[in-house]
Amino acid sequence: MLRKANSRRWALFLLALCLGVVGAARGDVTSEEERKKLIAQLAKRYPPKVEQEFGKRIAQEIDKQFGVVDDPEQLARVQRIVNEIAAVSDRPDVKYDVKILNVEVPNAFAISGGYVRVTKGLLRFCQSEHELAGVLAHELAHNCLYHPLRQRDKDRSVQKGQWLALLAALLFNVRAEDVFSLMTIVQLVRANIMAGYSRPMEMEADAVGLEYLSRTKYDPTGFLTVMERFAELARQYYQPPPQLRAWDTHPPSAERCREIVNLMKAKGLPINRAKVLRGFKAFAEQVEVAEGLRVWQVRLGDYVVYQAGPEPVNGKTPEQRMREACDAINNIALARGLGTFAIGGWSKTFEEKGLYTETNREIQLYGQPVLHIAKTDAQLAGMSLPEFHRAVFENFRATLARLEAEGRNPN
């Protein structure tokens, strides 16, 4: 009995020792200085030839299984963005091999050795080059940090621990039921360790990818908005939304989005959805609203936010007024972003007390006037000035809310 108890302790000791070695190899990076030191160490552990051989085999198999899209224009676009990010990355010497996979599901991944694969579904899913650059920067961060090779080695180390534990059990004559229990424990620990390491690597790639983006012409907000739409996809396909568990390989997308917002704030990166999403650009157009009656209006994306009456106001034609309004909206959108939080210029106090003057007859963004309410505009709508003012304000705010929602939803 004593011998069996001791032998089981020895087997468990060997298992713990093996898993302890794996745990010590975690290597999370918290600062740029630490990151550069780690990359220098990893470059010695994984020389270019090793990286290339490992990545090339995987890339070739993936290309064979899924097929590659022959689209020179799109391929050149992705390669250009990859090259721009790579030039400011921690490993600017890496030459990236980029291909587009014939897959509808939006996805991208980096393979060791500088192989980057994006799906044609991702190219449709991204609403701007800022969003595409956000995804690619994240993937290049994985490659720069040697994540694929580090993850492979962690898996191998835990597998080695599993076999050593089994060998120890056999050598020390551990009972069959104890061997089964031991191997079950190993499988659970392996799943938890792999998941535990995968999550920090994802968060690390998020942080480093944002840093790379901040050094380019691409707005880091693009990474946030594309992740928000991935979160919406997750919400649609998983009801209720999955909770974070110890064995999940990736945190839920909603949680990722919150972490990305926190990272951007910590790095002092402004969040400007208007710059990276379709629909936030205002433009003026002339439309026929009745037979023989054509008016100028302001549209924001697919939504009409204002229509001007046919009469000039303060010497300006309806076209001039609407184009000036669009310029004002777009300048503010590019500089500060747009959302329901930005709108102002109307309150119940105005309506209740009749406080309407030439100076407050306007719709504002961040306190700056962008739309000036005129009597001819209200007459076109068949409303009084106060009614029209409130209707324009509520319509503008509802439009911004719709655009915010569309920016988070899959196309």
Contacts for 272 with CB less than 8 Å, ≥ 6 apart:
219, 221, 333, 334, 336, 337
138 and 228 both lie in a single domain: yes
C-alpha span between 371 and 326 (Å, rounded) = 9
Q: Domain count of the chain?
A: 2
Residue 277 included in any domain: no
Tokens matching residue 106? 């939006």
259 and 291 both lie in a single domain: no
158 and 195 both lie in a single domain: yes
260 and 313 both lie in a single domain: no
- What are the residues facing 343 on neighbouring strands? 365
Length of the chain: 411
- Confidence at residue 16, expressed as pLDDT on a 0 to 100 scale: 36
**Among 325, 271, 275, CA closest to 298:** 325
Task: Tell me the H-state helices in 67-175.
Answer: 72-87, 120-125, 129-144, 147-171
251 and 316 both lie in a single domain: no
Residue 342 included in any domain: yes
Amino acid identity at 243 = Q
**Last residue of some domain: 218, 236, 271?**
271
Q: Which of 49-53, 115-119, 172-176, 306-310 has the lowest mean pLDDT?
A: 172-176
**Among 118, 116, 123, CA closest to 55:** 116
246 and 295 both lie in a single domain: no
236 and 312 both lie in a single domain: no
**Last residue of some domain: 250, 271, 292?**
271
| pLDDT-above-70 percentage for the chain | 73
| pLDDT-above-90 percentage for the chain | 41
Q: Is the pTM of this model over 0.75?
A: no
Q: 155: helix, coil or strand?
A: helix
Confirm if 372 and 321 have CB atoms less than 8 A apart. Answer: yes
- Confidence at residue 53, expressed as pLDDT on a 0 to 100 scale: 85
214 and 324 both lie in a single domain: no
Overall average pLDDT of the 344-358 stretch:
65
- What are the residues facing 117 on neighbouring strands? 99, 109
Q: Band of the pLDDT at 153, cuts 50, 70, 90?
A: low
Contacts for 156 with CB less than 8 Å, ≥ 6 apart:
none
Amino acid identity at 63 = D
CB-CB neighbours of 25 under 10 Å: 12
Q: What is the pLDDT of residues 210-248, one digit of tens each?
A: 999 999 999 999 999 999 888 877 666 655 544 444 434
Domain carrying residue 54: 2-271
Per DSSP, the residues of 63-84 read: HHHH-B---HHHHHHHHHHHHH
241 and 353 both lie in a single domain: no
C-alpha span between 55 and 396 (Å, rounded) = 51
Decide the pairing of beta strands 97-101 and 115-119.
Answer: parallel
Contacts for 355 with CB less than 8 Å, ≥ 6 apart:
349
Residue 9 included in any domain: yes
Q: Tokens 């621990």 identify what position?
A: 161
Confirm if 212 and 141 have CB atoms less than 8 A apart. Answer: yes
What is the phi/psi pair of residue 68, to 5°? -115, 135
Confirm if 88 and 216 have CB atoms less than 8 A apart. Answer: yes
Residue 91 included in any domain: yes
Residue 362 included in any domain: yes
- Confidence at residue 20, expressed as pLDDT on a 0 to 100 scale: 34
DSSP label at residue 272 = -
27 and 169 both lie in a single domain: yes
266 and 294 both lie in a single domain: no
Mean of pLDDT over the chain: 78
**Last residue of some domain: 218, 244, 271?**
271
- Confidence at residue 334, expressed as pLDDT on a 0 to 100 scale: 76
Q: What is the pLDDT of residues 34-81, one digit of tens each?
A: 888 988 988 888 888 888 888 888 889 889 888 999 999 999 999 999
